[in-house]
């Protein structure tokens, strides 16, 4: 992937992962430029199809485009950071990310957005007034 495109994705995200919203500076691993719709589904490396993702989100998401909504047990699309607004699908309950919609609930569940590590980081952010 072209270095300029990687930098565009990173800058567009404002240094924050586009799924779990953690600041990139809190990751011990390098950020991932993630294909929202994976190449295996015949998608490409255009900026529209790329998102900044933490390794935890990206590795669990894999090639998935859908998941099971834990409330309705229905197959539901995952959050698409280029087409949808984060605040419409997600919110916070303390340090936990909660899904406001079927898309939000499914994405939170599939990407394990409330794992122990991310909850600890969000607690630090909340205590320092940096959790938005």
For residue range 18-66, what is the model confidence (pLDDT) as tens digits?
999 998 887 776 788 999 999 888 778 899 999 999 988 999 999 999 9
pLDDT for the residue 27: 72
For residue range 60-82, what is the model confidence (pLDDT) as tens digits?
999 999 999 999 999 999 999 99
pLDDT for the residue 31: 81
For residue range 83-98, what is the model confidence (pLDDT) as tens digits?
999 999 999 999 999 9
Please give the backbone phi and psi of residue 120, each rounded to the nearest 5 degrees, phi first: -65, -45
pLDDT > 90? residue 15:
no
CB atoms within 10 A of CB 21: 20
Domain boundaries of the chain, sorted by first residue:
3-127
């Amino acid at each position: 992937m072209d270095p300029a495109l990687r930098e565009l994705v990173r800058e567009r995200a404002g240094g924050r992962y586009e799924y779990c919203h953690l600041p990139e500076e809190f990751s011990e691993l390098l950020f991932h430029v993630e294909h929202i719709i994976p190449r295996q589904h015949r998608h490409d490396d255009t900026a529209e199809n790329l998102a900044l993702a933490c390794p935890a989100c990206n590795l669990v998401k894999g090639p998935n485009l859908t998941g099971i909504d834990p409330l309705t047990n229905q197959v539901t699309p995952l959050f698409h950071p280029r087409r949808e607004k984060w605040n419409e699908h997600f919110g916070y309950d303390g340090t936990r990310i909660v899904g406001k919609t079927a898309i939000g609930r499914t994405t939170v569940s599939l990407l394990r957005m409330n794992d122990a590590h991310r909850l600890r980081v969000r607690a630090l952010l909340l205590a320092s007034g940096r959790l938005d």
